[in-house]
């Protein structure tokens, strides 16, 4: 059975969210169940280079685990522009 796991991101996705984000991701990656990991960007208005680094790190950790699908959902405005400029579509599906 495939289930989706969601991480709702804050309005400001920056280094201050690093510890929380890594903990959530590690918990999802170590879960026994298979399933997609969905990052809810619907509230994100700002993200910085450390947020991009966290996204890359999650993708690398996923390569070493069960290869779940990684999905960015609800990105809009400046956040979507930054994700596109950083070519995140190469490692994440956008919905």
Residue 31 binned pLDDT confidence (cut-offs 50, 70, 90): confident
d(CA 83, CA 70): 14
**Does residue 1 lie within any of the structural domains?**
no
**Does residue 2 lie within any of the structural domains?**
no
Residue 45 binned pLDDT confidence (cut-offs 50, 70, 90): very high
Residue count of the chain, please give it.
Answer: 95
* Total of domains in the chain: 1
d(CA 21, CA 54): 8
User: Is a pLDDT exceeding 50 seen at residue 1?
Assistant: no
Q: Give residues with Cβ within 8 angstroms of 51, minimum separation 6.
A: 13, 14, 15, 17
**Does residue 43 lie within any of the structural domains?**
yes
User: Is a pLDDT exceeding 90 seen at residue 19?
Assistant: yes
**Does residue 92 lie within any of the structural domains?**
yes
**Does residue 61 lie within any of the structural domains?**
yes
**Does residue 83 lie within any of the structural domains?**
yes
**Does residue 93 lie within any of the structural domains?**
yes
- The pLDDT value given to residue 73: 97
| DSSP-derived 3-state class of residue 58 | helix
**Does residue 82 lie within any of the structural domains?**
yes
Q: Which domain holds residue 75?
A: 35-95
CATH of the domain at 46: 3.30.750.24
């Amino acid at each position: 059975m495939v289930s989706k796991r969601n991480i709702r991101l804050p309005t400001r996705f920056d280094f201050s969210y690093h510890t929380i984000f890594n903990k959530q991701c590690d918990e999802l990656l170590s879960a026994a169940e298979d399933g997609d990991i969905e990052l809810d960007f619907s509230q994100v208005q700002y993200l910085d280079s450390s947020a991009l680094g966290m996204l890359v790190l999650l993708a690398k950790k996923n390569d070493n685990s069960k290869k779940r699908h990684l999905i960015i959902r609800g990105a809009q405005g400046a956040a979507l522009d930054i994700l596109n400029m950083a070519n995140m579509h190469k490692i994440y599906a956008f919905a």
